Amino acid sequence: MDEKTLDEIISRYDSPSGRLLGILEEIQTSEGYIPRDVLEMLSVKLDVRLSQLYSLVTFYSFFSLKPIGEHVVTVCMGTACHVRGAAEILTTLEKLLGIERGTTQDGKYSVTTKDNKFTLEIARCFGACSIAPVIDIDGDLYGYTTPERLPEILEDYGWREP
């Protein structure tokens, strides 16, 4: 995002210091994430400490400091899913997507594949415990998942075995 575009967003808010969330939301929507250089520009323009902006961005799960993939795969790690094998589901997805275990973003588990096709995240209960273990892809829930079923599910979203 260039400076002119950022200025246009800021100008839509009468009192920018009180509208940080709105401005950040517009940046997130426009870019798909919050680029660091834009955050730095915003800090200078609004005279708000960079650390304050980071606190906001990392507090709300809607914001991301890294580009989000075309498809977001979220693994439920809630209790019911955990006891029915969610950890194995997560490990298998990491393997299939070529994601390194333990890579995290700002304390949140959110990792995007190098080709930006998939972002893998974890959550705490989708409220669908009766069909555990559950994963969510772009808002579609898949219950009773097994490691064996995952390639077939991912293929519907353009994944191909490397």
Is position 57 an interface residue for ligand FES (rule: CB under 6 A)? no
Is position 38 an interface residue for ligand FES (rule: CB under 6 A)? no
Residue 122 CB, nearest approach to ligand FES (Å): 10
- Cα distances (Å, whole numbers) of residue 153 to 36, 68, 118: 34, 20, 13
Report residue 53 as tokens. 């902006």
| Chain position carrying tokens 């994430």 | 33
Pairwise CA distance, residues 67 & 129, whole Å = 30
Between 48 and 80, name the residue whose CB sits nearer to ligand FES: 80
End-to-end CA distance of the chain: 33
Tell me, residue by residue from 70 to 109, as one string, x for binding to ligand FES by CB under 6 A and - for no binding. ------x-xxxx----------------------------
Cβ-proximal residue to ligand FES, closest one: 78
Angle of helix 50-59 relative to helix 20-31, nearest 10 degrees, comes to 70
Residues in contact with ligand FES by the rule CB under 6 A: 76, 78-81, 125-126, 128-129, 132, 134
